[in-house]
A and B are shown apart, each in its own frame.
Chain A
Amino acid sequence: MEKKKVLIIIPAYNEQNSIPTVLRKIQALPEQYDIVVINDGSKDNTSLAARSVNGVTVIDLPHNLGIGGAMQTGYIFAHRRGYDIAVQVDADGQHNPDDLPRLLAPLIRGDVNMTVGSRYVEKTAYRSTIMRRLGMVIFSLVVSLITGQKFTDTTSGYRAVDREIIAFYGRNYPTDYPEVEALVLLKRAGFRIAEVSVGMDARQAGTSSITPLKSIYYMIKVLLAILINVVRPKLKGA
């Protein structure tokens, strides 16, 4: 079997302290992967910090687009460079690079179009606040109902996709809080998705972008987006 070209996409906004560690951890894996960092108009030295690690491609957005626009930039890059698989990994260090092979295996076998690293498929060490858990339970309930597939961790940003979804993402990618909405979009376009159990660490540095007020907006925006999706015409898959 031919070896698949894998690209790791790391969106980063003001992550100068954690990004070098994350990059080195990925490079320390037995398998070598290409890495692209999308610096989403950071106000700190994220770009320099990422460039300080050898063999990493850095794309600087002229100004902040938000996670959706930044991730899509990475997927367009992956599409144009002809990558077979793209993995998105957070810049804050909460995604454990050791889980990468597990995330990639189903895609390399061609079983599914996408894998999502889930903290809840099996009991893992991950814990979070009650409010956060509540939001996640609601999302997973709604998404599972709409798509007819059980999803335990809809907000997880640790995911890998194949060539077809890379192309699809280049054309359509949700903005703002894209993870949950992307699942609904992809399922409705006919893609196959599987959850894979991963462990997640607490953030290494920086603060979560989600404040209490934002989390209310997050809930409303995401629920509206996925419900509206149902009454929209289906997007073409491949």
Chain B
Amino acid sequence: MELTVYNYATVISVIFLGFVLEMVRRYSLKEQYSILWLLVAALMLLLSLKHELLEWIAQALGIYYAPAALFFFGLIFCFSLILHFSVIISKLDSKHTRVVQEVALLNQRIRELEERMADTQPNPRKGA
């Protein structure tokens, strides 16, 4: 087998697919987030195996060197994914703020209750 860019792209795609599945199996990656990556891996595999497809797309887009089309799509994908992560981080940030606030408010209530208990029961620790 000739060592072309398509051949090792196929190998890398297969390894990548296996790696994603393994991460899901080990609970390192949640199923809902894995779907995206599985789709990417499948697409990479398809384009590596059927490189006529990639060449056809490249030609349609006016890209002379077909593998450059891969980089082009890869870059677009990376940008969208990073943006998607920023959105998730913003959401987590709001949720985290609310949790911190609740923890602080609950701590204050516990302190208040403990002080009130200490006032009514002289020695609450020994009580049954």
Contacts and interface: CB of A to CB of B under 8 A. Distances in A.
B7 interface: no
B108 A72 contact: no
B101 A69 contact: yes
A72 B9 CA distance: 52
Bin the interface of chain B by size: under 10
A72 B100 CA distance: 11
Interface string A40-65: 00000000000000000111111101
B103 interface: yes
A69 B108 contact: no
A69 B107 contact: no
A18 interface: no
Contacts of A62: 100, 103-104
A175 B101 CA distance: 13
Interface string A72-107: 110011001000000000000000000000000000
Contact of B108 (A59, A63, A175): A59
Interface string B32-46: 000000000000000
Contacts, number: 35
B105 interface: yes
A57 B104 CA distance: 12
Contacts of A73: 101, 104-105
Nearest to A68: B97
A58 B108 contact: yes
B105 A77 contact: yes
Contacts of B107: 59-60
Nearest to A41: B100
B105 to A, nearest CB: 6
Nearest to A175: B97
A38 B101 CA distance: 10
Contacts of B108: 57-60, 77
A175 B93 CA distance: 11
A72 B104 CA distance: 12
A59 B97 contact: no
A65 B100 contact: yes
A59 B112 CA distance: 11
Contacts of B103: 62
A69 B105 contact: no
A65 B100 CA distance: 8
B105 A65 contact: no
22 contacts: A38-B104, A57-B108, A58-B108, A59-B105, A59-B108, A60-B104, A60-B107, A61-B101, A61-B104, A62-B100, A62-B103, A62-B104, A63-B100, A65-B97, A65-B100, A65-B101, A69-B100, A69-B101, A72-B101, A73-B104, A76-B105, A77-B108
Interface of B: 97, 100-101, 103-105, 107-108, 112
Q: Lowest 8 CB-CB distances: which A-B pairs, in order?
A: A73-B101, A59-B108, A69-B97, A61-B104, A59-B104, A62-B103, A62-B100, A65-B97
Given A57-B108, A60-B107, 12 more contacts: A57-B112, A59-B108, A60-B104, A65-B100, A65-B101, A69-B97, A69-B100, A69-B101, A73-B101, A77-B108, A80-B105, A175-B97
